[in-house]
Structure 1
Amino acid sequence: MSNNNIVPGFNDEKDDSLRINLEKVPEVENCLTIYLIGYIDTYNSSFFQKRIARVVEAGYVNLIFNCASLNYVSSTGIGSFTAFLKMVKPKGGDVVLLEIQPKVYEVFQLLGFSQFFNIKDSMGDAVNFFKNGTQVEESVFPKIFSCPVCSKRLKATRSGRFRCSECKSILAIDQQGAVFLG
């Protein structure tokens, strides 16, 4: 199915540095997988934001960004993902980032954004998140805990990876609230 069949006019504008393919996710209401091929930087982030705004205007508020073929994201590109989260949250939607390459994930982590996004390793995990993941998280979070390295008291509002504000150790919290190094 072509992008224009899913979101009318989606392919009206193109950018050679970033190709975007859309695919409906039948198991989840108002959900699309958005395949990103190329890179996102200062020069094409406006194009990227316009295309995704069109997706949200078409009623798709549960967005799975497949980043397997995304080989670079600048801080401006990460700002775009944050804007999408702000677009869909008030409409009851959410954003999942899928199959992020290590060098791209590192940018999210260095800028402190990895904790704001739902980052999943497989399509099954992403679909399960939309089907029932949000209810699980709400019952456990926010969670106050001590850093396992320096014992600093920290607060986590959701599962994910983040850096301790005191010792800068990278920590991970799963959906049940368990804390790990890494």
Structure 2
Amino acid sequence: MSNNNDLVPGFNDEKDDSLKINLEKINDVDNGLVIYLNGYIDTYNSSFFQKRISKVVESGFVNLIFNCSALNYVSSTGIGSFTAFLKLIKPKGGDIVLLEIQPKVYEVFQLLGFSQFFNIKDSLPDAINFFKQGAPVSESIFPKIFSCPVCSKRLKATRAGRFRCSECKSILAIDQHGQVFLG
């Protein structure tokens, strides 16, 4: 993998030894970029991580594949960063795929209830196909029954939109594809 961080102006202006980030353009996906993460994401470096990815989105890349094969730890704050990226790119027509997540990192996503919010793939071709095919826009997925990611209460959404969990009062959003996220 070559370092193509010059794809995003000013991307390398700031460095953090705990998290190395490399970029690779995906020619098969409109506004697509693979972001290779090496190290860990926690409370101390999440601000650095968020600033770097915000630069990526500001440069027009909204279909992001995070290669997590060399990411050995993510705290709840780090998962919050990924959630913030989803909120940032969804209105721009983009999406996120997490790729090759290590089991101990995936376990944190599951324990916190976030594994259902993210598209998780095992290979780069699978991730690219996700963006090429796109999720079908169909009202037939509604009503959708799902569990609240915060309190696990079973909920039913009759249409896309924002609403509040009846149990824990968390604000949730569901898009036209049936994907649920905090919101």
Query: 1:134-178 CA distances to partner (integer Å, 9 max, x unpaired)?
Result: 127875455348xxxxxx966589xxxxxxxxxxxxxxxxxxx9x
Give yes or no for contact 2:5–2:22 (8 Å, CA) kept in 1.
no
When normalised by structure 2's length, the TM-score is 0.76
Contact 2:5 2:23 in 1 (8 A): no
1:65 aligns with 2:66: yes
Q: Tell me the amino acid that sits aligned with residue 29 of structure 2.
A: V
1:81 is matched with which residue?
82
* Residues 48-89 of structure 1 deviation map (CA, whole Å, 9 limit, x = unaligned): 000000000000000000000000000000000000000100
- 1:143-182 aligned at under 5 Å gives the runs 143-144=144-145, 155=156
TM-score w.r.t. the length of structure 1 is: 0.76
Secondary structure at the counterpart of residue 134 of structure 2: helix
Aligned-residue Cα RMSD (Å) equals 2.3
| Residues 21 and 36, structure 2, Cα contact 8 Å, conserved in 1 | yes
Q: How many percent of aligned residue pairs carry the same amino acid? A: 81
Note the C-alpha offset of 1:8: 1.2
Cα distance in structure 2, aligned partners of 1:5 and 1:121: 27
Alignment correspondent of 1:24: 25
Structure 1 position 94, deviation (Å): 0.4
Structure 2 equivalent of residue 108 of structure 1: 109
Q: Which runs of 4+ in 1 moved over 4 A?
A: 136-139, 152-157
Q: Does the C-alpha gap of structure 1 residues 110 and 92 become closer, same or farther in structure 2, counting only changes over 3 Å?
A: same
1:99 corresponding residue in structure 2:
100
CA separation in 2, counterparts of 1:17 and 1:153?
38
Paired residue total? 152
Q: Distance in 2 between matches of 1:83 and 1:37?
A: 20
Q: Quick one: distance in 1 between partners of 2:43 and 2:56?
A: 21
